[in-house]
Amino acid sequence: MIKNLWNKLFAKQAEAQETNYVVAQLNDKIMPIDRGDVYADPLDELLKLKFYGEVSGGGTLQSQTGEIAYCDVEIELRENKINRQTITDIIEKLEACGAPKGSKLIIEQTGEEVMFGKLEGLAVYLDGINLADEVYKNSNSEAIAAEIKRLLGIESDVLRYWQGNVETGLYFYGESFKDMKDAIADLISTHPECENARVEQIA
Q: Does residue 80 share a domain with residue 53?
A: yes
What local confidence, expressed as pLDDT, does residue 18 receive?
63
Instruction: Say yes or no: 175 and 100 in one domain.
Output: no
Domain termination residue (choose one: 82, 116, 150): 116
Do 18 and 93 have their domain in common? yes
Residues 72 and 155 in one domain: no
Please report, for the domain that includes residue 153, its CATH number: 3.30.70.590
The pLDDT tens digits of the residues spanning 45-58 come to 999 999 999 999 99
Report the 10 Å Cβ neighbour count for 127.
17
Average pLDDT, the chain: 92
What is this structure's pTM? 0.89
SS (H, E, C) the chain: CHHHHHHHHHHHHHHHHCCEEEEEEECCCCCHHHHHHHHHHHHHHHHHHCCCEEEEEEEEEECCCCCEEEEEEEEEECCCCCCHHHHHHHHHHHHHCCCECCEEEEECCCCEEEEECCEEEEEEEEECCCCCHHHHHCCCHHHHHHHHHHHHCCCCCCCEEEECCCEEEEEEEECCHHHHHHHCHHHHHHCHHHCCCEEEECC
Residues 106 and 127 in one domain: no
Query: For residue range 75-123, what is the model confidence (pLDDT) as tens digits?
Result: 999 988 889 999 999 999 999 999 999 999 999 999 999 999 999 999 9
For 9-43, write each residue's pLDDT tens digit: 334 444 444 679 999 999 999 999 999 999 999 99
Q: Domain of residue 63: give its range.
A: 2-116
Instruction: Check whether residue 27 and residue 104 sit in a common domain.
Output: yes
The domain boundary residue, chosen from 116, 151, 186: 116
Total structural domains within the chain: 2
- Of 70, 85, 116, the position where a domain reaches its end is 116
